[in-house]
């Protein structure tokens, strides 16, 4: 009775409950005090001993949680190291491209002096300018871009004009822009890259033949940019995974284009990019939304 609280000893109902509980846990021990006089001994574990029964489970959960944390931490460290490695490689690539690019620009100026009205010279000049843009993109990896450009109409139109002459002539490529200026702070180089990526994906989905449209319109407080094709479309599973790094439906490719496009729109322009519509055999529509 020394291990039983006094309030239970003084309450017959509570004492009876305790005895029933003890009996359910352990069979009582029969003790013969005198000949013919027997008594039952009810017993149970102390509270401390009962609590200790759960200790291995708590210890096991703690070990599992600790191992999970270590695994997550090591993966994060690895990804961080890989991120720094790729960022450094990209910057070094941009630096290396810069030298021959400067030489090409010099030769281009000489060619313009000799044949200033040549269409081929003007097209080569556009390609050189494109290379310079690509070099700038690589050089800015790892740093926060500045949103110094305002005229979104001009950015989209310039990108369209460049791409139209460099994709298959079997693609009916059109653009529909608002008649009024759309002034939104953005980074021209990065937004152009996002549009270019979506256009090239659309051309691949149409296998170089079909109808491709770029639409830009205002809706409430947002500016919407849609890239719509009538290509192969996507399954539900493909649409769900399209923006995940490393996921690709192509046999060749790293599956980084859409994931990087999502980062450019969401993290740098405080917007959103998604697949607004897709159907197998009928095409896909990507929608970019940026606040006015």
Q: Are 167 and 136 in contact (CB under 8 A)?
A: no
Q: How far is CA 292 from CA 50, 148, 158, 283, 286, in A?
A: 64, 15, 20, 28, 19
Pairing of strands 29-34, 37-41: antiparallel
* One domain for residues 175 and 92: no
* One domain for residues 135 and 81: yes
- How far apart CA 222 and CA 271 sit, in angstroms, is 9
* One domain for residues 280 and 188: yes
* One domain for residues 193 and 271: yes
Q: For residue range 19-46, what is the model confidence (pLDDT) as tens digits?
A: 888 888 778 887 777 776 777 777 776 6
Within a domain: 30 = yes
* One domain for residues 170 and 125: no
Domain containing 104 equals: 55-139
Last residue of a domain, one of 139, 162, 194: 139
Predicted TM-score (pTM) of this structure = 0.58
Q: For residue range 79-126, what is the model confidence (pLDDT) as tens digits?
A: 555 555 555 555 556 556 666 667 777 777 777 777 777 777 777 777
Q: Tokens standing for 128?
A: 């050189």
Task: Give the dihedral sign, CA 147/149/150/156.
Answer: negative
- How far apart CA 276 and CA 16 sit, in angstroms, is 68
Within a domain: 113 = yes
Q: For residue range 69-81, what is the model confidence (pLDDT) as tens digits?
A: 666 665 665 555 5
* One domain for residues 196 and 246: yes
Within a domain: 1 = no
CA atoms within 13 A on the CB side of 278: 21
* One domain for residues 256 and 175: yes
Instruction: Give the chain's domain count.
Output: 3
Q: How far is CA 268 from the centre of its chain?
A: 14
Q: Are 243 and 258 in contact (CB under 8 A)?
A: yes
Q: How far is CA 234 from the centre of its chain?
A: 19
Residue 249, domain CATH:
3.30.565.10
């Amino acid at each position: 009775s020394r291990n039983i609280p006094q309030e239970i000893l003084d309450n017959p109902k509570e004492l009876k409950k305790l005895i029933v509980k003890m009996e359910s846990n352990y069979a009582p021990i029969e003790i013969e005090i005198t000949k013919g006089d027997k008594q039952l001994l009810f017993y149970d574990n102390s509270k401390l001993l009962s609590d200790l029964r759960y200790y291995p489970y708590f210890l096991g959960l703690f070990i599992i949680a600790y191992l999970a944390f270590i695994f997550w931490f090591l993966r994060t460290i690895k990804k961080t190291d890989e991120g720094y490695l790729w960022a450094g490689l990209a910057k070094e690539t941009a630096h290396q491209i810069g030298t021959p690019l400067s030489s090409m620009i010099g030769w281009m100026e000489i060619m313009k002096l000799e044949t200033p009205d040549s269409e081929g010279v003007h097209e080569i000049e556009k390609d050189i300018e494109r290379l310079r843009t690509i070099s700038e993109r690589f050089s800015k990896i790892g740093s926060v871009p500045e949103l110094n450009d305002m005229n979104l109409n001009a950015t989209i139109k310039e990108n369209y004009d460049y791409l139209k002459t460099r994709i298959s002539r079997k693609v009916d490529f059109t653009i529909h822009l608002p008649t009024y200026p759309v002034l939104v702070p953005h980074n021209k180089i990065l937004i152009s890259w996002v549009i270019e990526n979506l256009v090239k994906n659309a051309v691949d989905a149409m296998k170089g033949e079909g109808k491709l449209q770029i639409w830009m319109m205002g809706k409430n407080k947002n500016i919407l940019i849609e890239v719509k094709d009538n290509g192969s479309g996507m399954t539900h599973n493909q649409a769900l995974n399209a923006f995940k790094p490393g996921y690709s439906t192509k046999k060749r490719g790293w599956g980084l284009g859409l994931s990087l496009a999502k980062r450019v729109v969401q993290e740098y322009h405080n917007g959103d990019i998604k697949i607004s519509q897709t159907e197998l055999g009928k095409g896909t529509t990507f929608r970019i939304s940026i606040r006015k």
